[in-house]
Amino acid sequence: MSLAHHQQALATALERLRDAPFNALLSLLVIGIALALPAAGWVALDNVRLAASGLAEAPEVSLFLDPGAGRDEVKAIEQKLRDAGAPYRFVAKDAALERLKAREGLADLVANLPKNPLPDAFVADMAGRDAAAVEAFVKSAGEWPRVAHVQFDSAWMRRLDAFLRLGRLAVVLLAGVFGVGLVAATFNTIRLQMLARAQEIEVARLIGATPGFVSRPYAYYGALQGILGGLLAAALVALAFFFLSGPVGELTRLYGSSFRLRGPSLAEVGALCAAGALLGWLGARLSVALYLRQQPQ
Amino acid sequence: MITFANVTKRYPTGFEALRDVSLDIQAGEFVFVTGHSGAGKTTLVKLMAAIERPTSGGIIVNGQNLSALRASALPFLRRNFGLVFQDQKLLFDRPVLANVLLPLEIAGTPPREAKKRALAALDKVGLLDREKALPIALSGGEQQRLAIARAVVNRPAILLADEPTANLDAASAGQILSIFNSFNQVGVTVILATHDLQWVDKLRPRVLWLAKGKLHEGLPAQSPVELAPLNALAVPGASDTLIEEATR
Ligand SMILES: Nc1ncnc2c1ncn2[C@@H]1O[C@H](COP(=O)(O)OP(=O)(O)OP(=O)(O)O)[C@@H](O)[C@H]1O
Ligand SMILES: [Mg+2]
């Protein structure tokens, strides 16, 4: 197998795409739509994640300190927070007591306490982290010296996370189903092409063509079609998100959020094309393998 | 170069096309395989190129035992041969030049070099000025010569041609046989399956004679009646000299 073989096969595949643009266009539409649906789902979910993290109150983790914690120990905890990269603030026990006093109905009760029962606390801002990361942070902070108690209300985040996980699973299943469809569509396209070129294939094999030689142009064709299908899918998704971005922007503004809908990223377009190429290639290879097995040598 | 040892070929229909055939063809030989229609000439040629498999017996080509050949080695075995098929198997959807390029593409010859060689092969068979024509626009003789150009373009060690002069007039047939002769002169082993015996005199090939699946060396020293149908297409008078020769 030489470089000339590959150049030849790629050139042949491109010629075939060019020579039957109508057929190619129909297949491309099928492949494009098959890829567009899961891709749209994926990007939409990511938008939900982004929107939710912008809309919700910032999730905060409170670290209550041991009452006996000394100055240096508090400093050490502060350093650990800084290392963790989370924005934080310090709430001294006196300040906390003042805030409690300001609450309606509690002032008397607080005034009658013999001494301040509240501990010093740090409040760390967990915005932009997913549930697993926050969970991990809570766990490690609980083991820091002189941290008496770590408190985090994670129910809301967990719910969002579960929703996103479910959504992603649905997208993966959808992608699986449409991926099989893509393979099948390419399989069929290539089969028709091979039947139309049965004589050429027969002659080539009779005069010494390897199965690789026969299959290469078809494999390239399948992969090229997949890449073009991926680009088409990306274009469809981008177009849909472009039309949605206006109304969605208005909606989120009503909630006081500066959230903006994002279309597919460059990496996502690349992944889409790669997936299309791989599946198209696979469909073509399967088709060729079956065809060659059915023909006598 | 090619050895058959007790080869029998029975088709799935149960018909025995070749019976206990043994032969040995050396490198550089010029061989006519002849016999009546249905005698098994094409079958013999197909067995040589491993297009068909023997029912029993052994075939060795270029030192390779065909019955022990792996499927993945088959394409490379075929490349030892320049094949001219009885039905030619030209590709009518592409021009003359592209037909001749096919074996070179299969071999992975770089395009520039391939084109040079394809044009040289077309020149050799006198079709250089038709490189852009579609095969359908060629005469029978020209199509035959195109098939030969495709067979020789890869400079095979063995030329294996099945009825390359069928349905051609004497002049065209002579032209084609002289092409084969010229390849033989430069050392290519040439094996032709043919009815056309009028050239035996001139070319003095080794003649293998097939009758009802049995192989005989040389033409039979039998009644002219046996040979007559073979020369139905030949130039009048030619068969007489031939039979004279054969029966001498
Ligand atoms: N694929 C096949 N299946 C069954 N029988 C076959 C097959 N191919 C050939 N035969 C039979 O085998 C016999 C020999 O056929 P073959 O083609 O070798 O003859 P031939 O000498 O080349 O004849 P011709 O001069 O007409 O080309 C014929 O009787 C033919 O009917
Ligand atoms: Mg025949």
Q: What is the CATH number of the domain that holds A95?
A: 3.30.70.3040
Helix or strand holding residue A124 (H, E): strand A121-125
User: Are A90 and A197 part of one and the same domain?
Assistant: no
**Is residue B147 very low, low, confident or very high in pLDDT (cuts 50, 70, 90)?**
very high
User: Are A213 and A143 part of one and the same domain?
Assistant: no
Of B135, B178, B157, nearest to B127 (Cα)? B135
The ipTM assigned to this model is 0.85
Contact status, residue A151 vs residue A64, Cβ threshold 8 Å: yes
Q: Is the pLDDT of residue B45 over 90?
A: yes
- Per-residue pLDDT tens digits for A15-35: 888 887 787 888 889 899 999
Q: What was the pLDDT predicted at B244?
A: 40
Contact of B91 with chain A, judged by CB distance below 8 Å, is answered with yes
How many other CB atoms are there within 10 angstroms of residue A258's CB atom? 8
What CATH number corresponds to the domain at position B165?
3.40.50.300
Average pLDDT score, chain B: 86
User: Are A37 and A104 part of one and the same domain?
Assistant: no
Check if B17 has its Cβ closer than 6 Å to any atom of ligand 1. yes
Instruction: Choose the final residue of a domain: A153, A180, A210.
Output: A153
Check if B53 has its Cβ closer than 6 Å to any atom of ligand 1. no
Instruction: Choose the final residue of a domain: A111, A137, A153.
Output: A153
**CA separation for the pair B223, B247 (Å, rounded):** 9
Q: What was the pLDDT predicted at B232?
A: 45
Task: Give the residue from chain A lying closest to B154, CA to CA.
Answer: A207
User: Are B148 and B223 part of one and the same domain?
Assistant: no
User: Are B59 and B161 part of one and the same domain?
Assistant: yes
Contact of A2 with chain B, judged by CB distance below 8 Å, is answered with yes
Contact of A98 with chain B, judged by CB distance below 8 Å, is answered with no
Contacts B105 to A, Cβ<8 Å: 4-5, 8, 213
Instruction: Choose the final residue of a domain: B115, B135, B156.
Output: B156
Q: Is the pLDDT of residue B236 over 80?
A: no
Could you tell me if residue B3 is inside a domain? yes
Instruction: Compute, in angstroms, the gap from residue B43 CA to the centroid of ligand 1.
Output: 6
- Per-residue pLDDT tens digits for A165-220: 899 899 999 999 999 999 999 999 999 999 999 999 999 999 999 999 999 999 99
Length of chain A (residues): 297
Least CB–CB distance from B78: residue in A4, A7, A207: A207
Average pLDDT score, chain A: 85
Calculate mean pLDDT across residues A242-250.
83
User: Are A115 and A249 part of one and the same domain?
Assistant: no
Q: What is the pTM of this model?
A: 0.75
Q: List all residues of chain B from 140 to 159 with a beta carbon under 8 Å from chain A.
A: 150
A86-90, A215-219, A259-263, B176-180: the lowest-pLDDT one: A259-263
Instruction: Choose the final residue of a domain: B156, B172, B191.
Output: B156
Check if B213 has its Cβ closer than 6 Å to any atom of ligand 1. no
Backbone angles phi, psi at B63, to 5 degrees: 80, 0
Give the residue, by CA position, lying nearest to ligand 1 atom 12: B17
- Per-residue pLDDT tens digits for B132-142: 999 999 998 89
Calculate mean pLDDT across residues B74-97.
94
Q: What was the pLDDT predicted at B220?
A: 72
Distance linking the first and last C-alpha atoms of chain B: 30
Higher local confidence (pLDDT), A59 or A198? A198
User: Are A46 and A175 part of one and the same domain?
Assistant: yes
Could you tell me if residue B238 is inside a domain? no
Contact of A10 with chain B, judged by CB distance below 8 Å, is answered with no
User: Are B76 and B166 part of one and the same domain?
Assistant: yes
Task: Give the residue from chain B lying closest to A293, CA to CA.
Answer: B71
User: Are B60 and B178 part of one and the same domain?
Assistant: yes
User: Are A42 and A163 part of one and the same domain?
Assistant: yes
Of B144, B190, B191, nearest to B171 (Cα)? B144
Check if B37 has its Cβ closer than 6 Å to any atom of ligand 1. yes
**Is residue A54 very low, low, confident or very high in pLDDT (cuts 50, 70, 90)?**
low
Instruction: Choose the final residue of a domain: B108, B123, B156.
Output: B156
- Identify the domain containing residue A101 by its residue range: 60-153
User: Are A69 and A112 part of one and the same domain?
Assistant: yes
Could you tell me if residue B245 is inside a domain? no
Q: Is the pLDDT of residue B74 over 70?
A: yes
B89·A203 Cβ contact <8 A? yes
Share of chain A above pLDDT 70, in %: 93
**Is residue B190 very low, low, confident or very high in pLDDT (cuts 50, 70, 90)?**
very high
Q: Is the pLDDT of residue A112 over 50?
A: yes
Q: Is the pLDDT of residue B48 over 80?
A: yes
Q: Is the pLDDT of residue B114 over 70?
A: yes
A202·B110 Cβ contact <8 A? no
User: Are A184 and A49 part of one and the same domain?
Assistant: yes
Instruction: Choose the final residue of a domain: A130, A153, A176.
Output: A153
Q: Is the pLDDT of residue A122 over 60?
A: yes
User: Are A142 and A162 part of one and the same domain?
Assistant: no
Instruction: Compute, in angstroms, the gap from residue B215 CA to the centroid of ligand 1.
Output: 15
User: Are A279 and A178 part of one and the same domain?
Assistant: yes
Q: Is the pLDDT of residue A235 over 60?
A: yes
Contacts B51 to A, Cβ<8 Å: 206, 297
Contact of A200 with chain B, judged by CB distance below 8 Å, is answered with yes
Could you tell me if residue B11 is inside a domain? yes
Side by side, the strands of the sheet bearing B158-162 are B81-84, B158-162, B189-193, B30-35, B206-211, B214-217
Q: What was the pLDDT predicted at A11?
A: 86
Contact status, residue A216 vs residue A21, Cβ threshold 8 Å: no
Could you tell me if residue B190 is inside a domain? yes
Calculate mean pLDDT across residues A119-129.
82
3-state secondary structure A1-45: CCHHHHHHHHHHHHHHHHHCHHHHHHHHHHHHHHHHHHHHHHHHH
Q: How many domains does chain A have?
A: 2
Contacts B79 to A, Cβ<8 Å: 207-208
Calculate mean pLDDT across residues A152-169.
79
A207-211, B60-64, B230-234: the lowest-pLDDT one: B230-234
Contacts A297 to B, Cβ<8 Å: 51, 71, 74
**CA separation for the pair A87, A137 (Å, rounded):** 13
User: Are A166 and A262 part of one and the same domain?
Assistant: yes
Q: How many domains does chain B have?
A: 2
Could you tell me if residue B26 is inside a domain? yes
- Identify the domain containing residue B29 by its residue range: 1-80+157-229
User: Are A173 and A51 part of one and the same domain?
Assistant: yes
User: Are B109 and B149 part of one and the same domain?
Assistant: yes
